[in-house]
Structure 1
Amino acid sequence: MSAFENLVTQITQVFFEHGYEKMTMSLLAQHCKITRRGLYHHFSSKEEALQAMIRLGNQRTRVNSIREGERLLAEKAPVLDIVTHVLDVRYGETRRQIALSPYALEINDAAFRICRPVMIEAAALFQADFCRLIERAISEGLFSLRPTVSVDSLVQMLCDGARGTNQSFVAPRPEEIVGRYRQMSGAILYGCVMSGEV
C-alpha cells in the first residue's frame, strides 16, 4: 500500500469514528497523526479528502469483486453464486463497514452530496468490468440470456438492485446483506435467463 493509500485509509477510519460534518482539516490531521501542512499537501479541503476516500474505496471493491467473480467463474460456480458474490464484494463490504459507524447516515449523506461525480465514474467502471465478466460466463456456457435482454441491461438491473438494497428504507442488518443481494439477483436472473439455467 502506498503512503497516499495509507493516508486515505486513515482518513476513512477517522470519518467513521468521528463523523464528517464537524471534522476540520486540523482535527483530521491530528487524528491521522500528520501535520496540517502534510494533509494540505494532499487535499485542499475535507471535501477532497472525502472524495479520495470514496474513490479509493470504490477502486478496491471494484477490483476485488471482479477478482472474486473470475475465481468463481473458473470454478464453474452457478451464475447466481457468481453474481451474488460479485455484488456482495462490490457493495456489501462498504455497507457492512459503514453500518458499524455511529455516523453512517451523515457519511452517506455527505458522500451523495459531495462525491456524486466520483460515484458515477466508479459505477460506470464497475459496470463495464461486470459486463465483461457476464459475457465471459455466457461464452463459457454457464447460462444464456433471453433474446430480449442484453448483457448491459442485465448488469444495470443487478447494480441498481444492489444499490437499492443498500438504500432501502429499512436497511438490512450487516449479516443480512448478502442474502438480500442473493434474493434480488435471483429474481432478476429468473426474468432474464433462459429457463432452468440459474
Structure 2
Amino acid sequence: MRISIREPRAGDAEAHRAAVLRSDRHLRPWNPVEPDALPELLRRQGAGLRTYLIVDDDDAAGNPDGAGGAGAARGTGGLVGTCNVANIVLGRFRNAALGYDSYLPYAGTGRMTLGLRLVVDRCFRARPDGLGLHRLEINVQPDNTRSLAMARRLGFRHEGFSPRMLFINDAWRDHERFALTAEEWQGPTA
C-alpha cells in the first residue's frame, strides 16, 4: 500500500467534492459535510493553517473519485482523506491542532492511519521541509470511537475533556483532548 500526502490544488476540487458527497453519512455525525469547501480552504492556507490530502497512490486507475486515471502521476490516486493542521502557533509554543476526515471506500482500511502518520511526521520535522512544531493536539467527540482509536493508534495521550468545545452541526459539542510532543513521536512507521 503506497500512501502519500500533498497540499491540495485548485484542480482537486471536483475529486474532493465527489469524495465528500460519497462519504456524507460517514462524516455527518462528526463534521459538517461541505463538498464545495476546498476552494475556500485553499484561500485560507498560510501561517496558521495547512491542509494535506491523503492519497492512495496504488489506486491511480479506476479510483472512485476520478482523481487518477490511466497513467496518473504519483499523488493523484484515490482521495483517502483530508487533514487540516490548524491554529498553528510558533515561537515558544510551536503547537497546532489536527482535524481530519476519512472518505469512503477507504475508511477502515488502514490508509488514513498511514497518511496521518506522514502528516504528523511533517509537522514535527524541522523547517523548511516540515512545520517545526513541538506539540500537536487532536480533539475528538466522545462518541466518535473510530477517531478516538485513531488518536491512540498515532500515539497521542489523553489529556482531558472539554465540554461544549466546538460548534459543529448546529450545536456545541464536547470533545476529548489528546496531545503528542515531538519527543514522544515514534516516527511515521511506528
TM-score w.r.t. length of structure 1: 0.35
Question: Larger helix proportion, structure 1 or 2?
Answer: 1
Question: Larger strand proportion, structure 1 or 2?
Answer: 2
TM-score w.r.t. length of structure 2: 0.36
Structure of larger gyration radius: 1
